[in-house]
Amino acid sequence: MEGMNITMTLLSCLAFMTLVGYISYQKTKGEVNTQDGYFLAGRGLTGTFIAGSMILTNLSAEQLIGLNGSAYGYNLSSMAWEVTAGVSTIIMALIFLPRYLAGAFSTLPEFLRDRFDDTVRRMTVILFMVGYCFITIPSVLYSGSIAVLRLFDVPTLLNMSYEASLIVTIITVGSVGAIYAVFGGLKAVAVSDTINGVGLLIIGILVPTLGLIALGDGSFSEGLSTLVNTDTEKLNAIGSEDDPVPFGTIFTGMILANLFYWGTNQYVIQRTLGAKNLVEGQKGVLFSGYFKVLVPFMMMIPGVIAYHLYKHESLPTIDLAYPHLVKEVLPQYLSGFFLAVLLGAVFSSFNSLLNSAATLFCLDVYKPMKKNKVTDSQLIKVAKITSIVIAILSFIT
């Protein structure tokens, strides 16, 4: 019976991932043969795809574990990282984005060259490329794969050792993400992100709902009453100096860090540069900020629910709170869908980083080096090779 459940989980996971891949292919077929088509989705992205891609690029499996673990072990103070992003997205939409789109820029370094000079552009490219290739991409791939292993007990699922399962997960996530980035360009990334984002939203609502029902012994209202009236210190969002996010840090750097991330980080803002127009771009960015404000309810309340359910069980680590809750409340028939969404969340961040790194290299290094005398087909070929090389480096790193 267990073997049948594992088979059904893997088959349903594969089916959903295949559906996402097919839809992404149909949406991008014949649209990635030009520079703008490959790197900026033909500058035709609507607000829905921009918001879906930005959110899923930002959220990943390790955040499901980390934020819920923080809520389980401490309180809701870590929500500051999420809700303050709303302020940054407003600034991005109203101040930065109009300037980016007015100049029809393809990358942030290109904007900085226009604002300052080529020296600033080159320095920014070096910082982004080194950071993406040797720090961000490998860490996102590794931490995301670790999260999937913890959430879904992949060693048991595949009947393999932990080390072997980690290698398989890394290669699987990296390979699938690379396929979207290499062959589909930014539009394939945005489309797949949006579909997986809908899946993540469904899971994000379903898990706390089922958790509250379990907490109330079958009654949602009883579970909600227990949540808001028992151990209420767990719902405190004003962090003390001993909490993961002390309240003062919000005003001494967190908002600036969020402003960099949402307003000037190439792999996040690239989909806004491909907006159909300013209105669609602003809608996408503001929708992203709206959903970031909702993140604590989907990614932290389950941790509080887990505390009420398992506080007497002494979990080995707070990072096991969310996996334990999911295993207890999520129906078996949804396990494959859940696994597919988790994998989608991980390779979303990976393929976005890969696509942006290739974009920076091609448009801010290779093209200027050739004195702009390069055809679109040559540029796209170089981008695909660059993406493959960076992907392989990330596996090794």
Q: What average pLDDT does this structure show over 205-216?
A: 93
Q: Which residues are bridge partners to 45 per DSSP?
A: 275
Least confident among 147-161, 271-285, 352-366 = 147-161
Between CA 167 and CA 235 the distance in angstroms is 38
Taking residues 258-270, report their average pLDDT. 91
Lowest-pLDDT choice from 31-40, 237-246, 316-325: 31-40
Confidence class of residue 175 from pLDDT cuts 50, 70 and 90?
Answer: confident
Query: Shortest CA distance to 71 belongs to which of 82, 84, 57?
Result: 82
Instruction: Return the minimum-mean-pLDDT range out of 193-197, 210-214, 224-228, 234-238.
Output: 193-197
Beta bridge partners of 275: 45
Tens digits of per-residue pLDDT, 342-393?
888 887 888 888 888 889 999 988 888 888 788 888 888 998 888 888 888 8
Mean pLDDT, rounded, of the chain = 87
| 2, pLDDT greater than 70 | no
The answer to whether residues 211 and 309 touch, using CB atoms and an 8 Å cutoff, is: yes
Tell how far CA 348 is from the center of its chain: 6
Return the structure tokens found at 41: 């989705």
CATH class of 2-12+37-396: mainly alpha
What's the gap between Cα 293 and its chain centre?
15
- Look at residues 366, 359, 363, 18 and name the one whose alpha carbon lies nearest to residue 182: 359
Angle between the N-to-C axes of helices 47-58 and 266-273, in degrees from 0 to 180, rounded to the nearest 10: 170
Half-sphere exposure of 176 (CA within 13 A, CB side): 24
Each residue's pLDDT tens digit, 98-121: 999 999 898 999 999 998 988 899
